[in-house]
Amino acid sequence: MGGCDQPFILTDCSLEETANLLSPVVRKEQPEPLDVDMFGILTDDSPLRYIGFDQQGCHSSLVYQTPNGSRYWCPDVSSHFKPVVGKIYLTWDEVYKMYETYGEMSGFQIRVAGYKKWKGEITHRVLVCNKAGKPRGKMIDSVHPASMSGARSSCFKVTGCKALIRLGAIKGITNYVLYEFSENHNHELVSSENMDLTRKGKHLNFDDLHFVHAMSLNRVGATVAHRLQTSLKGGHHNMRGTRNSYKNISRDIRMFIGDRDVQLVLKKLEDRAKNLHNFSFEIHHFEGVLQAIFWADDVSKLSYQLFGDVIAFDATYSTNK
């Protein structure tokens, strides 16, 4: 070529054929790709370096780190359960249930962050991780000792987590479209074995409430009832509610009964008198306060006829009833 021994090589350009001639078209210089070993993904224009895999029981997550040392946990969940940008949901309940299920499978709890309205109608809604937001600082004035009182003790801490989903309401109908999904958390996710310690995990369902009530009818306290339920379900990670949750439910049942405990006892004795043969009872009260109750069934009356002895006792002595 051109009287040269070596062929002419065209670098970073291609030949474009036109009607009359072949003209070279120079390509733009491409940026150098990121090193795969150093940077895995890009989030909010900040490079994140993959540093490991975090396993918390049945929950797993991918751990990334920014150049300044901040770490992020990305839940390793099947794409079938992840929110999909652009998907339309029929109702708000469907959206909430979807993100709540995704959070339970990932290891975090959710809450409603807020919404926007236009002419009285909701146009946008946001669901965030329950660790979103930053704690408010407390102003302390040394002149006023009351301002130096300690804050309420709590094991729950917010970390400013940015994991969320944003949805827009479709005008005229109840549908919502998901237009933003951020899945990285700036805190470790909860282990599957400790999900019973979360806010939702402490809430008991109807079966648990019925179990606590049935145990109380058999004079089994809340602490023992919690131990029995833990054994029956194979561990605390398979059940809902803590020991304090059971105690609170037992307390609420007693408060619901309140001052009607005497009426419940009398109603039970009246039902026995109607349905049991030769059953009778007597009560003694003074100024509206019940003083004593005596009851006897058919067997007790026959025993009195044979032996002529009567034993009276306080059925609630030393039982904290």
CA–CA separation, 106 vs 271, rounded Å? Answer: 53
CA–CA separation, 214 vs 219, rounded Å? Answer: 9
pLDDT at 308: 79
103: left (phi over 0), alpha (psi -120 to 50) or beta: alpha
pLDDT at 127: 93
User: Taking the CB of residue 125, how many other CB atoms lie within 10 A of it?
Assistant: 19
CA–CA separation, 103 vs 200, rounded Å? Answer: 11
- Transcribe 8-22 into DSSP letters: P---SEEEEE-SS-E
pLDDT at 181: 93
CA–CA separation, 267 vs 189, rounded Å? Answer: 52
pLDDT at 1: 45
pLDDT at 28: 39
pLDDT at 236: 73
User: Which pTM was predicted?
Assistant: 0.56
pLDDT at 85: 92
* Nearest one of 137, 125, 77 to 103, comparing CA atoms: 77
CA–CA separation, 64 vs 165, rounded Å? Answer: 20
* 3 state DSSP class of 70: coil
pLDDT at 263: 78
Longest C-alpha distance within the chain, in Å?
A: 140
* Tens-digit pLDDT string for the chain (321 aa): 444 454 444 444 443 443 443 344 344 344 343 333 333 344 445 577 888 888 887 888 888 888 888 888 999 888 888 999 999 999 999 999 999 999 888 888 898 988 898 888 889 999 999 888 876 655 555 556 565 555 555 556 788 888 999 999 988 888 999 999 999 998 888 887 777 677 777 777 788 888 888 888 788 888 888 888 888 888 777 777 788 888 888 888 777 766 677 777 888 888 888 888 888 888 887 877 777 888 888 888 888 888 877 776 666 666 655
CA–CA separation, 70 vs 44, rounded Å? Answer: 14
CA–CA separation, 239 vs 196, rounded Å? Answer: 7
Which position has the token pair 């120079």? Answer: 26
Domain chopping of the chain, boundaries:
49-135+158-192, 203-307
Please say whether the beta carbons of 229 and 211 come within 8 A: yes
pLDDT at 298: 85
Tell the burial category of 237 from Cβ atoms under 10 Å away from its Cβ (0-12, 13-18, 19+).
middle
Task: Please name the helix (run of DSSP H) or strand (run of DSSP E) that holds residue 271, with its range, or none.
Answer: helix 261-275
Strand partners, 145: none
pLDDT at 98: 92
As given in the structure block, the two tokens for residue 38 are 């150093």
- Which residues lie below 8 Å from residue 17, measured CB to CB, with a gap of 6+? none
Per residue in 210-221, pLDDT (tens digit) is 888 888 878 888
